[in-house]
Chains A and B, each alone.
Chain A
Amino acid sequence: QSVLAQPPSASGTPGQRVTISCSGSSSNIGTNFLYWYQLLPGTAPKLLIYRNNQRPSGVPDRFSGSRSGTSASLAISGLRSEDEADYYCATWDDGLRGVVFGGGTKLTVL
């Protein structure tokens, strides 16, 4: 079981706004930066959000991240079919002294 809890699945229709949650603890999300990655089938992970809410250049502003206490969320607005992918949150855990990933959320665009 992952240290960071994510819902296994999420879905939305084109144009909709969806959010994916990531729940942790004071030793990880509560203390350290949170990152979000997108995995399209058969491709390498892509960094979507770093330092809780920063977007790398080239990532559309439809993607946004937030953190509150020991939880974080990724919001995708104006949902598109190409957003159908697996999404992972990640951060450093002070207790485990390692990077931890969430279990991943499979986003389906209906």
Chain B
Amino acid sequence: QITLKESGPTLVKPTQTLALTCTFSGFSLTSGVGVGWVRQPPGKALEWLGLIFWNDDFRYSPSLKSRLTITKDTSKNQVVLTMTNMVPVDTGTYFCAHTRYTYGFGYFDNWGQGTPVTVSS
């Protein structure tokens, strides 16, 4: 059974850096597997942030790539999302999700429960 869980601060101040960890079980970051990040601002639509694959191939949202870094620690079954220079519009629920390269970008078949992040001074 695949499970993912996001963890990190629920409150960050403007200009600070956000670091969220996705800890997963039931799969390994081996051939063909990846983890992606998606967020949802309150009352708004889902927004894709980025993803990383088993082979360190990665993709970032073009509008956020200057602020985003996604890394993996295969030995710990974790993927970390780092977002710099946080601003209030970054407030929302952040999800990590399991993906498979062969099913195309946009394919996320198992999701974490999400973690709320508020950006406020």
Contact = CB atoms under 8 A, between A and B. Distances in A.
A in complex with B: yes
Interface of A: 2, 32-35, 37, 39, 43-47, 50-51, 56, 88, 90-92, 96-104
A89 to B, nearest CB: 9
Interface residues of B, number: 25
A96 B95 CA distance: 22
A85 to B, nearest CB: 13
17 contacts: A33-B104, A35-B108, A44-B114, A45-B111, A50-B109, A88-B46, A90-B48, A91-B106, A98-B48, A98-B60, A98-B63, A99-B106, A101-B38, A101-B46, A101-B47, A101-B48, A103-B45
B113 interface: yes
A4 B32 CA distance: 27
Contacts of A39: 46
The 8 closest A-B pairs by CB, nearest first: A44-B111, A99-B48, A92-B105, A33-B104, A101-B46, A90-B106, A104-B45, A35-B106
A34 to B, nearest CB: 8
Interface of B: 36, 38, 45-48, 51, 59-63, 95, 97, 103-109, 111-114
Contacts of A33: 103-104, 106-107
A44 B112 contact: yes
Contacts of A35: 104, 106-108
Q: Is the interface of B mostly helix, strand, loop or mixed?
A: loop
A97 B106 contact: no
Given A33-B106, A35-B106, 5 more contacts: A33-B103, A37-B46, A97-B59, A98-B59, A104-B46
A45 B103 contact: no
B45 A101 contact: yes
Contacts of B48: 90, 98-101
Contacts of A104: 45-46
B46 A50 contact: no
B109 A56 contact: yes
A34 B103 CA distance: 10
A2 B113 CA distance: 24
